[in-house]
Amino acid sequence: GSSINWPPEFHPGVPWKGLQNI
């Protein structure tokens, strides 16, 4: 099925990937 991966989850200490496509 189509898994919706939103919202991206923030984890402290882990590089934020939510906006990597900018």
Partner 1 sequence: QEPLTVSMLAAAPLHKQKQMIGERLYPLIYNVHTQLAGKITGMLLEIDNSELLFMLESPESLNAKVEEALAVLHA
Residue 11 DSSP class: -
Per-residue binding letters, 1-22, with partner 1 (x by CB under 8 A): ------xxxxxxx-xx-xxx-x
- Minimum Å gap between C-beta 3 and partner 1 is 15
CB nearer partner 1, residue 1 or residue 15: 15
Which alpha helices (H) appear in the chain, and where do they start and end? none
SS (H, E, C) 1-22: CCCCCCCCCCCCCCCCCCCCCC
Contact positions vs partner 1 (CB under 8 A): 7-13, 15-16, 18-20, 22
